[in-house]
Amino acid sequence: MKDKVAVIGVGCTKFGERYDRGYEELICDAAFAAYDDAGIDPEEIEAGYLGTYLPGAGGGKSATSLADALRLYGRPITRVENYCATGTDAFRNACLAVAAGAYDIVLVVGAEKLKDRGGRGIPRLGHPLLARGNTAPGLFALAANRYMHTFGLGRETFAAVAVKNHANGAKNEKAHLRNEITVEQVLKAPIIAWPFGLLDCCPTTDGAAAAIVCRAELATRFRKPPVLVKGAALAVETGKPYFDPTFDYLGFRSTQKAAAAAYKMAGLTPRDIDFAEVHDCFTWTEISNTEDLGFCKKGEGGKLAEEGRTALGGDIPINPSGGLKSFGHPIGASGVRMIYEVVTQLRGEAGARQVKSPALGLAHNVGGPGAVSCVVVLGNA
Amino acid sequence: MVGITRLGVYFPRRRLDRGLLARAWGSRPVPGSRTVAAVDQDALTMAVDATLACVGEADPAGFDGLYFASTSAPYLEKQVASIVATAVDLRRTAAVADLGGSTRAGLAALRAAGDAVRAASLAHALVVAADVRLAEPGSELEVQLGDGAACVAVGSRDVVAELVSAASVSEEFTYLWRTDAQRYVQVADARFGNQYGVARDLPEAVTAALRKAELPPGRVARLCLAAPDARAAADAARRIGCDPTTQLLPSLQGETGLLGTPDALVQLVRALETAEPGDFLVVAAYGEGADALVLRATDALPGRRPTPLASRLADGIALPSYERWLRARDVLPADVGGEAVPTYIEWKELKQDIRLYGSRCEACGLVQYPQARVCLGCQARDRMVDAKLAKTGTVFTFTIDNLAPVAEHPMPMVVADLDGGGRIYLQGTDCAEGEIAVGARVQLTFRRLHEAAGNRNYFWKVMPV
């Protein structure tokens, strides 16, 4: 698939508590921006992929919300749902369809309106007895506690990630949380699920993002310089890691495997990547991801953050957008939002949060936790 | 010889300082604390934990009967004994029954089990009694009660206390009651109840049992009287012809509170902590009449003494407030919501969820939970055999969650490696701060997980050893 698919347009709504916008309106905002970005007539779109964890009211468990929002009828539209890797997996499927020669131009939208689903955003869908009592922070905290126990680090190391991502997000007008914070604030925030305090956690966010991909040969027809898909891979591991006696809880095998496959497809190594948007649903997650993606050795992700190497001016900037932590995390939208950010950075259009002249960027989602991971590598043509 | 072969006692870990009750109601402070069930406990769950304590390392398949006694069963229709029997992994062919109605039902169940074994109708039966009785907030009874459970096994091999004789008295009498429309135990005139109920019926039953055993009251080493009032018990002891100061076992009221149906069985455990082989023990319980049993400690007792009550009562966790207890008992309800467990899922997964079996792969040996067809370790297909999981283990990792929709925070969630294999992920309960950590030892306990659609759902949790 390497270099066979190009991203020709991206769009993203303002992320946040979007009480002012319905689910389908958010889809419109993101898709219209992508249409304009590419300079494309929607009639040219041959197929669509909707990444969403919970569709809007009336949307059902299907892709009809995308069709209805954009009146994009009579075409194949597929709904993708794969935990927090939903958005990047929707993008990956669109790329596969184009690379396979099935369509020339495909629209990908990730959308989520968590605030319409009650205060906690995510209704419980699990087994009525087994694993009951789990929460998203609680599940990642299981890994964080084992990691802290093994590598002997403290909450202040995790806090460095939150401080950095809020600093980046403060520069980003589309971000949900735009306030800069201090290590002390992170440490003093109320505990949600030990060791995570409120400021170790990403917010519950509404938002949508869109990307339009096409066959690479056609890309020059459109408005902006194309960005090429170098590699995209998904890996699935157990969705019940807490029952797996062989799991060490120090990182996620799905990320390691998806990254290896994406690098192999791209013919690249982690050293070649100039910056990355990685899944920082909780502060520890980013630290572990930087290791699983190969930017440092296992156990050294905390040092990477504390030494400023993942900051905007560091040698491997991580989450220049502000990440899930500050930009927000509308589940199905996040992965497509990452594609939007990587494309924006590669084009040099990121303004105050611009990474210095990047050529290769990476987007990564992990959900489950650790059950599903998707890695996408994009590069300038 | 028919008698008691094993004993187990279970007390909830929570304690309510009686001073908190006095402060709440402006009443006269009474010293000490009482045992109180946690929000996830009821008579059913404590019965499971007491039965597990009684069965210990023995093979559950060796017990062919189980009687559950309680005045506070969480179901008025739906058998509790069968849930207890399933959770402790008895065979489906075990004869089980629920007894209730009176606090002497615990001892009545023991008498019935003894008769069944003596008649060779049952070989080895379990008798478990548990109560979480609720008194009117602010009442004197609220201070006096306590929560707990006890289980004894009755058989004819390895008997530690022989059942020598039994006698009963029954008569309509209104002292303590609760109608099907009432939540709190009601009390009539205590002076009348003690004088014409307790101090009349207990001596009559005990004297009859002693006569059957041809035993003079002076030969009784320990007199255990389960009565709603300590002074009434002393009066009864005197009327029996026993010395209340030397022969009567002190009431549990100060240590735990009056326990209801398990009271007589718990007193028996205490008496057996120190009894010598050949000692005669009398156990009797009051309730619209009385049941009395005469037992004799055997030579096997010193090698097989029950775990002392003191160690079962150690490491209590004091509740910070009276309100926390009212919340635990649903007097101040907590609406945490949740979905019902579909009855067919419960039925399909009974072995996995309630009997707690995982799978062992015959190809690679990995023990895994929940049960699966393809091995997690080697992907072998349909090579699984049932593997019963141990109820002890070590914390691999954990979190302390403040977000989950449960009635009480902070709530630990624990990933534990069970002894003998299998990794499990369960809610933690009854933990003091710092007790749940990587490497900590934990044990499984049966709890009410949640309530939804008008039904109660039970499952395992972990707590510190």
Tokens at residue A152, please? 């002997």
Query: Cα separations (Å) of B411 from A202, B37, B352?
Result: 21, 17, 24
pLDDT tens-digit readout, A86-142: 999 999 999 999 999 999 999 999 999 988 877 666 677 788 899 999 999 999 999
Beta bridge partners of A234: A374
Asked whether residue B362 is domain-assigned, the answer is no
CB contact under 8 A, B425 and A192: no
Beta carbons of B399 and A131 less than 8 Å apart: no
Report the residue from B340, B368, B401 with minimal CB separation from A133.
B401
Residues 6+ apart with CB under 8 A from A197: A155, A186, A187, A188, A189, A190, A191
Write the DSSP assignment of A66-122 as a string of letters: HHHHHT--SS-EEEE-BTBTHHHHHHHHHHHHHHTTS-SEEEEEEEEEGGGG-TTSS
Nearest CA in chain A to B447: A129
Mean of pLDDT over chain B: 96
b vs e for B191-230, b when ≥16 Cβ sit within 10 Å of the residue's Cβ? eebbeebbbbbbbbbbbbbbeebebebeebbbbbbbbbbb
Domain that holds residue B121: 3-328
The secondary structure of residue B206, as a DSSP letter, is H
Q: Is residue B372 part of a domain?
A: no
Kindly state the helix (H) or strand (E) to which residue A367 belongs, with its residue range: strand A360-367
Q: What is the pLDDT of residue A121?
A: 60
Going by the DSSP 8-state scheme, the letter that residue A44 receives in this structure is G
Q: What gap in Å lies between CA A248 and CA A244, rounded to an integer?
A: 9
ipTM exceeding cut-off 0.90 for this assembly: yes
pLDDT at B213 over 70: yes
Q: In chain A, what percentage of residues exceed pLDDT 90?
A: 93
Q: Which residues of A are less than 8 Å from B415 in CB distance?
A: 142, 242, 249
Instruction: Report pLDDT for A126.
Output: 81
A126 contact residues in B (CB cutoff 8 A):
none
Q: Which residues of B fall within a CB distance of 8 Å from A130?
A: 353, 370, 425
The CA distance from A94 to A91, in Å, is: 5
Q: pLDDT for A284-340, tens place per residue?
A: 999 999 999 999 999 999 999 999 999 999 999 999 999 999 999 999 999 999 999
Q: Which of B393, B267, B292, B330 is nearest to B41 (CA)?
A: B330
Q: Which two tokens stand for residue A260?
A: 């290896």
**What is the predicted pLDDT for the residue at B415?**
98
Average pLDDT of the residues of chain A: 96
Does B314 share its domain with B438?
Answer: no
Structural domain includes residue B334? no
pLDDT over 90 (residue B333): no
pLDDT at B179: 97
Q: Token digits for A381?
A: 């043509």
State how far residue A147 is from chain B, nearest Cα, in angstroms.
9
The pLDDT of residue A379: 98
Q: Are residues B274 and B351 in the same domain?
A: no
**pLDDT tens-digit series, residues A137-155:** 999 999 999 999 999 999 9
Check if A95 is active-site: no
State whether B98 and B192 are in the same domain: yes
CA distance B430 to chain A (A): 15
For residue B130, what is the domain's CATH number? 3.40.47.10
The token duo for B361 is: 């792969």
Set of chain A residues whose Cβ sits within 8 Å of the Cβ of B390: none
Average pLDDT over residues A35-41: 97
Is A238 in Cβ contact with B406 (below 8 Å)? no
- Does residue B361 sit at the A interface (CB-CB below 8 Å)? no
CATH class entry, domain A5-119+202-380: alpha beta
Min Cα distance B454 → chain A (Å) is 15
Of A120, A131, A142, the CB nearest to B399: A142
Q: H-helix or E-strand containing B280? A: strand B280-286
B289 and B411 share a domain?
no
Q: Which residues of B touch A192 (CB under 8 A)?
A: 401-403
Collapse the DSSP code of B346 into the 3-class scheme (helix H, G, I; strand E, B; otherwise coil) and give the result.
Answer: helix
Cross-chain CB nearest to B399 (options A124, A141, A149)? A141
Please tell me the distance from the alpha carbon of residue B148 to that of residue A150, in angstroms, as a whole number.
Answer: 40
Co-location of B306 and B351 in the same domain: no
Check if A201 is active-site: no
At residue B428, the 3 state secondary structure works out as strand
DSSP B196: I
* pLDDT score, position A136: 94
Instruction: Please check whether residues B350 and B306 belong to one and the same domain.
Output: no
Distance from CA of B325 to the nearest CA of A (A): 21
Residue showing tokens 């949790």: B461
Residues of B in contact with A244 (CB under 8 A): 368, 376, 423
B427 located within any domain:
yes
Nearest residue of A to residue B458, measured between CA atoms:
A129
Select the residue of B367, B397, B413 nearest A134 (Cβ to Cβ): B413
My answer on whether B177 and B268 are in the same domain is yes
How many structural domains does chain B have?
2
Sign of CA dihedral A322, A328, A331, A337: negative
Q: What is the pLDDT of residue A120?
A: 64
- Label the pairing between strands B14-17 and B317-318: parallel
Yes or no, beta carbons of A243 and B423 under 8 Å apart = yes
Q: What residues of chain B, 403 to 462, have a C-beta less than 8 Å from chain A?
A: 403-406, 410-411, 413, 415, 417, 421-425, 427, 438, 449-450, 457, 459
The pLDDT tens digits of the residues spanning B157-201 come to 999 999 999 999 999 999 999 999 999 999 999 999 999 999 999
Q: Output Rg (C-alpha) for chain B, integer angstroms.
A: 22
- pLDDT of B449 higher than 80: yes
Q: How many CB atoms lie within 10 A of CB A76?
A: 13
Structure tokens at B464: 């510190």
**Same domain for B91 and B172:** yes
B370 → chain A, closest CA residue: A243
Least confident of A359-368, B127-136, B314-323, B325-334: B325-334
Q: Which position among A84, A201, A202, A374 bears the catalytic label? A: A84
Q: CB A146: neighbour CB atoms within 10 A? A: 20
What mean pLDDT do residues B112-139 have? 98
Q: Which residues in chain A touch residue B338, judged by CB atoms under 8 angstroms apart?
A: 124
Of B338, B398, B402, the CB nearest to A142: B398
For residues B37 and B50, the answer to whether their CB atoms sit within 8 Å is: no
pTM for the model stands at: 0.94
Whole-number Cα distances in Å, B289 to B206, B253, B285: 11, 21, 9
Q: With contacts defined as CB-CB under 8 Å, which chain B residues touch A138?
A: 399, 401, 403-404, 413
Which residues of chain A have a Cβ shorter than 8 Å from any chain B Cβ?
A: 120, 124, 128-135, 137-138, 141-146, 149, 190-195, 238, 240, 242-246, 249
Query: Based on the domain organization, do B127 and B169 belong to the same domain?
Result: yes
Domain locations along chain A: 5-119+202-380
How near does any CA of chain A get to the CA of B51, in Å? 22
> In this structure, is residue B309 part of a structural domain?
yes
Which residues are CB-contacts of B219 (< 8 A; sequence separation ≥ 6)? Answer: B280
B451 within some domain: yes
Catalytic position from the list A166, A176, A329, A364? A329
Q: Residue A286: how many CB atoms within 10 A of its CB?
A: 30
The pLDDT, as a whole number, for residue B452 is: 85
Peptide bond into B370 cis (omega under 30): yes
DSSP strand pairing (B176-177 vs A372-380): unpaired
CB contact under 8 A, A124 and B341: no
- Please tell me which residue of chain A has the smallest CA distance to B342: A128
B100 pLDDT higher than 90? yes
- Are the beta carbons of A354 and A239 closer than 8 angstroms? no
Instruction: For residue B72, give both structure tokens.
Output: 């506070």
- Beta strand pairing call for B95-99 and B65-69: parallel
Answer yes or no: is B384 within a domain.
no
C-alpha A52/C-alpha A334 separation (Å) is: 10
- How many Cβ pairs closer than 8 A exist between chain A and B? 110
Structural domain includes residue B186: yes
Taking contacts as CB-CB distances below 8 angstroms, the residues of chain B near A144 are 399
Looking at the structure, do residues B412 and B297 belong to the same domain, yes or no?
no
pLDDT digits (tens, 9 = 90+) for A217-244: 999 999 999 999 999 999 999 999 999 9
- pLDDT beyond 90 at A177: yes
pLDDT value of position B221:
98
DSSP character at residue B172: -
> How many C-beta atoms surround the C-beta of residue A228 within 10 A?
19
Average pLDDT over residues B218-226: 98
Using a CB–CB cutoff of 8 Å, tell me whether B137 touches chain A: no
Judge: B415–A249 Cβ closer than 8 Å, yes or no. yes
